[in-house]
A and B are shown apart, each in its own frame.
Chain A
Amino acid sequence: MQVWTKLFAKSPFKPLIKHAEVVLETVEVLEKALEAWEVGDYETMRNYARKVDDLEDFADRIKEEIRDSLSSKLFMPVNRGDILRYLHMQDKIADAAENTAKWLLVRDPNDMPEDIKEEIKSLIMKMSQESIKAAKLVYEAIVQMDTVIESGFGEKEIEKEYELIREIESVEHKIDELDTEFMEIIFKNSSKLEWGLGMYLLNIAKTLSNISDKAKDAAERIRLMMNK
């Protein structure tokens, strides 16, 4: 009797985890691009930045597939709308990474004033590391969500999930602070900076902090998934 094959539909969680994996990879490749940017290897930077773009495309395709398969005929342990909104936010993380990559490709910043060059670079790198952390935590959070369901919504597993969500929120807070610090530096030195360069740097910082913003939004959605 084939009822078993039909009655149990494909779980959306495996593809969601796959999507999170690709999103994480997108952010990781972006960090490599920024590392190349830091040392001034613009050729390598460009290659990585283009790879970020490809990965974002790939994430988009997985997203579409999940959306198509998540029809309303499924009966699931979590709200379908919550899953879709979560997916949307998770995908936005990759979009944010792609935006950073786009700004990287706009120009070569070989004209940074020497006295603030190091400070700017180190701040950007810090932000990049934090955004990777955020993306990694989102990945862990969706894997943990799978475990939460596996355990039949066990309190212990739910507590672990809340822990991850709190961590994501603290990372986002940290990046916000770095972003503010960065803006202050740029505006303090605005007389030394050509307007295009200032805009370029501000946007890199802005898009980087966006990654963690979206990670936080995704975490919020996971929180909602648990309170059906």
Chain B
Amino acid sequence: MIEMLSDPWLFITIAVGLFMAWAIGANDAANSMSTAVGAGAITPKQAVIIAGILEFTGAYLFGKSVTETVRKGIIDASQISDPHVIIYGSIAALLAASLWLVFATKFGLPVSTTHSIIGGIVGYGIVYAGTSIVNWSKMAQVVASWILSPIFGAIVAFTVIKLVSKTILQKDKPIESARRWAPVWIGLAFIVIGSMFYIKVMHGKSLFIAITRYGATAGLITFVISFVLLKRNFRTKDPYLGVEAIFKKVQVLTSAYVALSHGANDVANAIGPVAAVYAVATMGLAGMKVPVPKWILAMGGLGIAIGVATYGYRVMETVGKKITELTNTRGFSIDFSAATVVLVASWMGLPISTTHTVVGAVIGVGLARGVKAINKDIVKDIIISWFVTVPVAAIIAGIIFKILMVLG
């Protein structure tokens, strides 16, 4: 901590990193809990507390202790020899990404925080060394994810909602079928979530271990619990309400998982550049991967939690009041599908954005005639916002970087 005070640039980077963490919390965190809040499973206040704690826990305990200084190797760090470039560049990237996130949050656009920081890094990279510094094949993957994520999300969600309604809602005796099938669906969802926990939160590599150890255990436990609970008490008056009541409880768990995993993964977007500057300030070198001190992780986690509490609260409150058309089975189908797509994609090495997949899943549920109304205009706005995220963040970062280079 001492060296932080002695180096003003590190101090500034940490401040900007905190701002970025706050922006991530504000933009994304409400996302994890909003389906549960919207479907009435928890109140906005509860959601803020749960999300805040889990985001922090995810970031602090499960955030990567070694982080890539330039996210995902999007630019060639070996071309940067001047340590000042890393410092100014990191500040520029963080500031640009945070500003874009704040803007997007203000207009309710679900943009990817990862893509924002990638845009920021590409921006300063190009200003410094020209377009040759950019790893264009990585960039192509990012662009591909704009198309792949929503399409996969839509296909899987379409299938899931169709199967859920085929196995439960459309049967002659929905109550009987719900008793039998709901635990299966819940179990399946938790196989995915358990596996994701290993890969995304604990940063494990093997999908086999993920599924056999974590996925199978989580799936089995939730299957047995829900099976027993459904045998014992089930609101039988209205089968549809009964089914919704089951999925309502499940949704709290799936959103809790999303919050934890989000903290573990997205904290890197805020602290990666901070860690890079920290490495320069303390060791005087600019490497691709640097160890991240725990206190930087904690600050990232704190920043996200504050973002949830200050801005996320407002968002969740509006969500809680406004979303009436999101039932628990649909919310469950969306969560389950998005998680499955992200899991399979990370196993196959495909670049997938969770945010984009979720939006795709919503459209998939709509195409399956499961949602009563989707706003086409908003879908259009969202898709446009995905395409402009990287260029806009890049341009802002480029300008900030240029200014810092002149001043510094």
Contacts and interface: CB of A to CB of B under 8 A. Distances in A.
Bind each other: yes
Interface of A: 1-13, 73-78, 147, 149-157, 228
Contact of A77 (B105, B322, B370, B382): B370
Interface string B306-337: 00000000010011001111110000000000
B371 interface: yes
B378 A7 contact: yes
Contacts of A5: 108, 318-319, 322-323
Given A9-B325, A11-B325, A75-B376, A1 B369 contact: no
A53 B69 CA distance: 73
Interface size of B as a range: 35 or more
Contact of A76 (B171, B324, B362, B372): B372
Nearest to A158: B170
A102 B376 CA distance: 44
B353 interface: no
Given A4-B31, A73-B375, A151-B170, 4 more contacts: A1-B109, A4-B322, A9-B373, A75-B373
Interface in B130-174: 161-162, 164-166, 169-172
A147 B325 CA distance: 13
Contacts of A154: 165, 169-170
Given A1-B27, A3-B382, A152 B375 contact: no
Contacts, number: 122
A150 B240 contact: yes
B389 to A, nearest CB: 14
B38 interface: yes
B379 interface: yes
Contact of B369 (A2, A6, A77): A77
A77 B372 contact: yes
Given A1-B34, A73-B377, A8 B108 contact: no
Contact of A149 (B30, B105, B363, B372): B372
B378 to A, nearest CB: 5
Contact of A1 (B30, B170, B371): B30
Query: Which one of B30, B31, B169 has the highest number of Cβ atoms from chain A below 10 Å of its Cβ?
Result: B169
Contact of A8 (B323, B377, B382): B323
Contacts of A157: 170
